[in-house]
Structure 1
Amino acid sequence: MYRHVVCTRSPSEPKDRGVHQRNAALEHIERHKVDGIVFFADDDNVYTVELFESLRTIRRFGTWPVAMLAPRKNKAILEGPVCNGSQVIGWHTNEKSKRLRRFHVDMSGFAFNSSILWDPKRWGRPYSNPIRQLDTVKEGFQETTFIEQVVEDESQMEGILPGCSRIMNWHLHLDTGNLIYPKGWLLEKNLEITLAIK
């Protein structure tokens, strides 16, 4: 089942343009008690089919490593869990500034059971405020502040695939405004119709 959720907040307001969009979806899931797995896909990521198949196995909260292109696009950075089987025992990170984060994971490097949002008793979570993303957190801390609302620690997480041994998600950090296209690749006007639909 697919649902299209409209966000009425302007995407230019928060530091992270996706915060209000994700919160609109979280509110919808909570209000309608939608049962399933919540995963925040990103438009500048590449995913394997295996990742989506693995999401189906998540019981509570699943996480996996995400490979990212470095800012200069000349090397890859790995961020996410270090696992012993499916147990999360540590974190991959190479950014000194991010060592202050509790959980070192990309926004598209985790998924969770939707009932965590609307059935806190099932998960032994005290019901207080709704679980939402905050648009007031420092850049780079969006993921960890969200996850801290969902789980208490790594014991409530499961590494996806034994040993978190596969890269199933690449974050490319593409910004179309900075892409330089080879001459002739950029179209000045729309293509003409070559085959009309009858």
Structure 2
Amino acid sequence: MILYIKNIDTRQDCNKPWEHLLEQYPALVEPIRESWNDPSSFVRKIYMITPTKTRAEQTPDLTRLAQTLYLIPNLFWIVVEDEPQVTLRLRRLLRSFHLPFIHLNIATPDYLKPTQNQSTWRRPRGVFQKNIGLQWLRTNTNKDEDALVYFADDDNTYHWKLFQEIRKVQSVGVWPVGLVGELLYERPICLNGRVHSWFHYMYRKRKFPTDMAGFAIHLRLIHHYSTYVFNVSATSIAEQESQILNTMTTIDQLECLANNATKIYVWHTKTQSMFLTSIERLRNAGMKYDLVNQL
């Protein structure tokens, strides 16, 4: 095996490490320059709503997402925790990222949580949290602001170019989402910038067969449809996207982005739940630690 190691001149002036880093890895410059030099970046704010819940994988998921957001100017992160009270652990984590954010909370009722032997997709997730995010927007933003709203799961994977596409949205924009619906991708099939049909497999009767990560909405629509909230019924599986889109737009009005919906810039990845030894077994072994709050 041959390993390539870039030669580093130890005689370099170590007082300018950032400049030297860009010299060694010039590819770093491109997303930063393209994102931050785009005039729309500082005109059109993105409000991103992210539901999140306490679990062992929460900190690494949010850390990965935050490090993508460093590349995105003029983005405000609305993080809504699935807890009866905001946790200081999550508040400290969010503050450590030094990103513009608001930390909200609301607990999902027990009757809407999946049972021990039930798959998570059997219950609508993040519904109460999204509704609190919408409520915050209507209370704390101006209905005339030229801004966009995007719903982002904490364990999805986002290319920095996705946010450039979001800033092109005039009303409601759509694009492909990878690794979703038992397919490599779902996507709108577009002709001349408008949706002609959809490529999808699961839940065939959906009016808007897209994932929550596959669209963004102009803020004025969130204000205009001021009474809209996501249906929290346990029977609304796979219908959350169709509910909001059917309320705020029509298929004919959807804007096809990401090169006429041919480029994938977001993937519905899902962090696998880690097997962790129970507190009881650790106690029996003479060990004690907090499974979530230790670090």
TM-score normalised to the size of structure 2? 0.51
In angstroms, what is the RMSD of aligned CA positions?
A: 2.6
Letter in 1 for 2:162: L
| Rg larger for | 2
Q: Which residue of the other structure, out of 179, 188, 198, is the alignment partner of 1:91? A: 198
Q: CA deviation at 1:161?
A: 2.6
Q: CA deviation at 1:31?
A: 2.1
Alignment of 1:28-107 (within 5 A): 28-34=136-142, 35=145, 36-68=147-179, 76-95=183-202, 98-107=203-212
Say whether the 8 Å CA contact 1:83–1:164 is kept in structure 2.
Answer: yes
- Counterpart position of 2:115: none
**2:106 aligned with 1:8, yes or no?**
yes
Contact residue 172 and residue 215 of structure 2 kept, 8 A:
yes
- The answer to whether the 8 Å contact 2:212/2:241 transfers is yes
Q: What's 1:135 paired with?
A: 232
1:175 Cα deviation after fit: 3.5
Q: Match for residue 54 of structure 2? A: none
| 1:57-109 Cα shifts (integer Å, max 9, x gaps) | 110000101011676xxxx43213111232111111112xx111100100111
Q: What runs of 5+ residues in structure 1 fail to find an aligned partner? A: 121-126, 180-187, 191-198
What CA distance in whole angstroms lies between the structure 1 residues aligned with 2:141 and 2:219? 8
What letter matches 1:31 in structure 2? T
Residue of 119, 122, 147 corresponding to 2:245: 147
User: Is 1:160–2:267 an aligned residue pair?
Assistant: no
Higher share of residues assigned helix:
2
CA distance in 2, matches of 1:157, 1:131: 19
- Looking at both structures, which has the greater relative contact order when contacts are Cα pairs under 8 Å and sequence separation is at least 6? 1
Normalised TM-score (structure 1): 0.74
Aligned to 1:195: none
Alignment of structure 1 residues 178-197 onto 2, 5 Å: none
- SS of 1:21's equivalent in the other structure is helix
Over the matched positions of the two proteins, sequence identity in percent amounts to 26
Q: CA offset at residue 12 of structure 1?
A: 4.8
Task: Give the Cα separation in 2 of the matches to 1:147 and 1:116.
Answer: 10
Q: Residues 51 and 18 of structure 1: is their aligned pair in 2 closer, same or farther, counting only changes over 3 Å?
A: same
- Which segment drifts farther, 99-108 or 23-32? 23-32
Residues 178/112 of structure 1: CA separation in 2 closer, same or farther (3 Å cut): farther
Instruction: Quote the Cα distance in structure 2 between the aligned partners of 1:70 and 1:157.
Output: 21
